[in-house]
Amino acid sequence: MTAHPRSLWTALLALGFLCWAPAIAAQGPPVAPPHSPHPLPTPQSLAEGKMLFEGTCAGCHGIDGSGANGPNIRNVGKQLGPEGIYTMIATGGAIGSGMPNFSSLGDQKIWLLVNYVSTFDETGGGAVTGDPAKGKEVYEANGCSNCHMIDGQGGDSGPDLSQIGGVRSAGFLHDALIDPGANLPQSDAALQERANYPSYTMYRVVMKDGKVIEGTRVDEDSFTLQLRDDKGQIRSIEKQQAEKIEVLPNKSFMPSYKDKLTETQLNDLVAYLAGLGAAR
């Protein structure tokens, strides 16, 4: 029996259009407004695209494109091509997908995003080669639970890892253990900040009395800045009493495990973390 088109439409909406490609296959691609031709990427434009992506898209798709609140887009370049990616960004994609319309960015910035996103490659996500059971032992032996929580158990000064395997690729997890501050988003007042990524941005504050306070940003308003220090304590800072407030890019309280764990231990730990949540 052939399903009525309206029934198919209703079913697709119920599924929530979890990723772009199935939505396109089901109802046909949206049509982008007239736009300039696709420019070839350059090292400078890719760097600009990376910054734009981190401020505008990473909250939903993850810093490495492996997914967060939104779908994994690491292979979208092969699936859609530059014009297809442009259309999704400019129109928001299929109705009900939850993808916002970013046409207000304009051609230049959209193409910056297109070219940067096109550098993602599913194979770059890395393969899980370690032993998850041994990885759990590594996690416990190195005191990771002092800062991170899994299923309600552990500390809260770092990100909750309960679902980390569902939103981060194995390659991302491995790199984060080696260089924890490398993939933190760079702040930019002109970009939209989403989700909790800015909460882990580190700040250094020099008070007028010479006292120095460093910590990750928890909250901020016009008059105060709340930082969590390396002991997990919340420090509320009155901005009027601060001589200097600066962001510390690529810095994290999380230590690097490059020289603390063997490659086998790292792979085992990655395997454990990759198994937490609905791994992609």
**What is the CATH classification number for the domain harbouring 155?**
1.10.760.10
Q: For residue 149, what pLDDT is reported?
A: 92
Q: For residue 177, what pLDDT is reported?
A: 93
Q: For residue 175, what pLDDT is reported?
A: 85
Q: Is residue 190 part of a domain?
A: no
Q: Are residues 53 and 118 in the same domain?
A: yes
d(CA 202, CA 249): 7
* Final residue in a domain of this structure, among 124, 139, 165: 124
Length of the chain: 280
Q: For residue 176, what pLDDT is reported?
A: 87
Q: Are residues 242 and 117 in the same domain?
A: no
* Final residue in a domain of this structure, among 106, 124, 142: 124
As for how many domains the chain has, the answer is 3
Predicted TM-score (pTM) of the model is 0.60
Which residue type, as a one-letter code, is found at position 255? P
CB 112 within 8 A of CB 49: yes
Q: For residue 67, what pLDDT is reported?
A: 77
Which backbone phi and psi does 248 adopt, to 5 degrees? -110, 90
Give the pLDDT of the chain (280 residues) as one tens digit per residue.
444 544 444 443 334 434 444 444 444 557 888 999 988 888 899 999 999 998 899 888 888 888 777 788 887 877 778 888 999 899 987 666 678 889 999 999 999 999 999 888 655 566 678 999 999 999 999 999 998 999 999 988 888 898 887 667 777 788 889 998 876 655 444 444 444 456 678 899 999 999 999 998 888 889 999 998 888 889 999 999 999 999 888 888 899 999 999 999 999 999 999 888 753 4
Q: Is residue 280 part of a domain?
A: no
Q: Which two tokens stand for residue 127?
A: 């393969």
Q: Is residue 192 part of a domain?
A: no
Q: Are residues 29 and 167 in the same domain?
A: no
Q: Is residue 5 part of a domain?
A: no
End-to-end CA distance of the chain: 34
Q: Is residue 208 part of a domain?
A: yes
Q: Is residue 224 part of a domain?
A: yes
Q: Which two tokens stand for residue 214?
A: 């460093």
Q: Is residue 93 part of a domain?
A: yes
Q: Are residues 164 and 229 in the same domain?
A: no
Domain containing 87: what range? 17-124
Q: For residue 125, what pLDDT is reported?
A: 61
Where on the phi/psi map is residue 16: left (φ > 0), alpha (ψ -120 to 50), or beta? left
d(CA 213, CA 200): 15
CATH code at 231? 2.30.30.100
Which backbone phi and psi does 240 adopt, to 5 degrees? -65, -25
* Final residue in a domain of this structure, among 124, 142, 157: 124
Which residue type, as a one-letter code, is found at position 73? I
Edge-to-edge strand list for the sheet holding 234-238:
234-238, 224-228, 212-220, 202-207, 242-247
Q: Are residues 142 and 228 in the same domain?
A: no
In DSSP notation, 40-84 reads PP-HHHHHHHHHHHHHHTHHHH-TTSS-SSS---TTHHHHHHHHH
Q: Are residues 107 and 131 in the same domain?
A: no
Which residue type, as a one-letter code, is found at position 111? W
